[in-house]
Chains A and B, each alone.
Chain A
Amino acid sequence: MTEYRREGRYTTVSIPVTLYNRIKKLIEGTGFTSVSQYVAYVLREIVAAHEERKYEEPFTDEDREKILEKLRRLGYI
């Protein structure tokens, strides 16, 4: 097996103990096995939602016209 070191792939973030305890209670009996796992899950969801904003399609009007021409020729439009 290739050595795949997990050290250096995780870091520590501080959260209030009260919040930690609240999450610990919340995840009891769920599929989450640790507070860290839950926090990573929730953060990924939120970060992805933030990243989704501010995006414009990467084509110019000229590109678009060329593509539309092809799509018309192929009968898609």
Chain B
Amino acid sequence: MSDKTSTSNESFLNDAGNRAMLFQIALLALVVFIGYYLFSNLQANLANRGISTGFTFLNEPAGFPVLIHLIEYTEADTYGRAFVVALLNTFVISFIGIVLATLIGIVMGLARLSRNWLVARLATVYIESLRNIPLLLQMFFWYFAVLSALPSPKNSLLFGDFMLNKRGIYSPNPIVQDGFGLVIFGFIVSIIASIALIVWAKKRQIRTGDWFPAYWGSLGIMIVVTLAFYFIAGSPLEFDLPQKSRFNVTGGMVLPPEFVAVLIALATYTGSFIAEIVRAGILSVNWGQTEAARSLGLADNLTQRMIVLPQALRVIIPPLTSQYLNLAKNSSLGAAIAYPELVAVVMGTTLNQTGQAIETIGLCMLVYGSLSLSISLFMNWYNKKMSLTER
């Protein structure tokens, strides 16, 4: 907006560009000053407490147990290994939680749209009650009220080879025998075969217009081929069944109550949000689209699958992304009921024992930051693929 002919008459500050520059310099100076001030205080405080900065503590022995670990871990292992264990716990619960929450969300969202009055009401009650109760309260409810009210190991509830008691859910543990590689090979072969089937079906449909149920077909191929290889290899899987002893249960695979409580709470809570997103997405597709599909003679299920769903997905995906991110972040509430995830192990125990505040909190922020970034990158890619292609 600077007017070259009259700059000589005007003060420096009358130019909007100059003012913006001055303001930004001041802002930058302020940010740098605050950063410097906090950092120098920090250094002084750390020096007073005799804490040295740096990540060397990751190589020192941790000395505390982590109850749930997917990889080998003992108290003698290092803080670094404890960090990896906690990281895996966070990933596992986020991943399974996302899958379950999506399933619950789709079912409940469709149920709320159902023409069946009773089903729609029940879904509404589910969604509106779970959405409006804090997640932490729900975790406490599942952990302290439901799972700790289960019987002791001695009086375990039995469901076939599965067992349910205070210490968790026990299931048979598959043990891989020789020749299992053949089964994996068969599985890979079946995947290649089903991809080929889908490609062939699509080509044939474009050429002749005939339609082939390729997805059901590929599912069938995968099951049949994998099972065939399994039996050819001589059933190379054995199951370690949980056995009840006097005070405990030995053998089998255990899902500890902390894990189950966090998982149920995360999946049902996030599922209620996803249900609303699914419902809004489907409602956003113009009714005219359904009518047009019907007038073309498409059956009801084809109308839903080929006309409504692809258009609804476009509306559903962006908010769905943020729900997935929320779930991953909310898994940190597991710290409150002693599920050893990232925050509990790193910002809780490690921070308490070593006093390395900056490093531990930095690590946590780095992990959550990259988790958010990767989920949103993936979703952006998917979103781009699904979005409207206009001329």
Bind each other: no
| Chain A contacts to B: CB under 8 angstroms | none
| Chain B contacts to A: CB under 8 angstroms | none
